[in-house]
Amino acid sequence: MKPSYFTLPVERFDLNLLPSEARNIGSAAFKTAVVAYFAEQYASKSQQAVVAVDDHDISVLVLPSDSDPLEFVMTMLQSGHIKEAVPYLETLAKASPDNVQVLYNLGIAYSELSQFDEAIIRLKRAVKLDPTHAHAWTGIGVAYQRMGKREQAIEPMQKAVEADPSDGYARRNLGAMLLGAGQYAEALEHLRAARRAIPHDPQALYGLASVLEAVGGEDNEEEADELYLVLIQKFPGAQVAEMAREARTKLAHKSMRSKVGGGLRPDVMMYLAGALETFAKVGPDKSRQITLEVAMKGQEGLDINDPAQKYTLKTLPGQFSGMQLVSIMYVGLKALDPNMDAGIDLSAEYEAAKAMQRA
């Protein structure tokens, strides 16, 4: 049997089907009698009816007699049919207004449909019934965050962590919110806890790297760089890997500049000058091949702070350091489009290298 669902305006219900003392629409006796009527009708067919009656409508969810109504709706949610599941959840919520799990899943469904006010109403009702429901507190915080109300989002996320300190996702979300609010020390504490709880979660890793970078200091920035590299290697095709690449490049550029007090790096100038000379010799087609290969290798992460010549290319003989490859790519990209953003600012060294070449 396929489950079904329908609603009926209360004024269209045939009152003659009810006992005479239960025909006053809106009364408690009316609602109880309507529920009993549908339950009896479907029970005779070996089916069960979950019935909810309010001042305007009668909602009826019909299932096989051996089905768990919430389990049926959860299957819909898990298969992505969120919008279709909401009426069923509403019926269950009306029929069992104190069922915390129904309220929680209804709230999350509304949040996924961007109906945040409706989501927060249901989720707050859930935590009122069960203040230890960490996931419901998390749902409230996420809904507020999606509404752009970051300050209001922090308190429910803190409640979620208090309810279940071992919940890595609650820790991760709270840490991200605190990071956005500039509360770096607290954010670092929660994001470290999140990494311990969910060590393979990319958002937890990225959040921890971000807060380490925000706190600053050589040790923290070195750890952040290692985390960014882990993300690039473990999740190469994901958006978070691209974000990690950009963050790692900026971090490396900052480190590069700090080592020379903000001035020019002679080694980078020599790498750029060498690349200019090589490209002039091999011509445009070969230059594009070299640039493309370096760019592809860069997707895996290049360590520009390590002077060791540990990289090789198929298009060029020899071994190269990470900074040397970045310099080669920079020259290649500038040859393709002088206005292209190469992801790292070597413009001062580039102009100096061109001046050296002209001289």
Query: Exposure string (b/e) for 320-335, b if CB count within 10 Å is 16 or more?
Result: bbbbbbbbbbbbbbbb
Q: pLDDT grade, residue 140 (50/70/90)? A: very high
Return the pLDDT at 237.
82
Supply the mean pLDDT for the chain.
Answer: 88
Q: State pLDDT tens for residues 218-254.
A: 899 889 989 998 998 899 888 998 899 888 877 776 7
Return the pLDDT at 359.
61
Domain locations in the chain as residue ranges: 1-68, 69-256, 266-358
Decide if pLDDT at 69 tops 50.
Answer: yes
What's the rounded mean pLDDT across residues 142-157?
A: 93
Return the pLDDT at 124.
97
Return the pLDDT at 1.
56
Decide if pLDDT at 260 tops 50.
Answer: no
What's the rounded mean pLDDT across residues 108-119?
A: 96
Return the pLDDT at 255.
63
Return the pLDDT at 170.
93
Q: pLDDT grade, residue 171 (50/70/90)? A: very high
Which amino acid belongs to residue 163? A
Decide if pLDDT at 131 tops 60.
Answer: yes
The percentage of residues in the chain with a pLDDT greater than 70, rounded to a whole number, is 96
Return the pLDDT at 206.
96
Structurally, at CATH architecture level, domain 69-256 sits in Alpha Horseshoe (1.25)
The percentage of residues in the chain with a pLDDT greater than 90, rounded to a whole number, is 48
Instruction: Considering only residues 90 and 64, tell me which one the structure prediction assigns the higher pLDDT.
Output: 90
Decide if pLDDT at 195 tops 60.
Answer: yes
Q: pLDDT grade, residue 55 (50/70/90)? A: confident
Decide if pLDDT at 53 tops 90.
Answer: no
Return the pLDDT at 259.
53
Q: State pLDDT tens for residues 319-342.
A: 998 889 989 998 999 888 888 877
Return the pLDDT at 308.
85
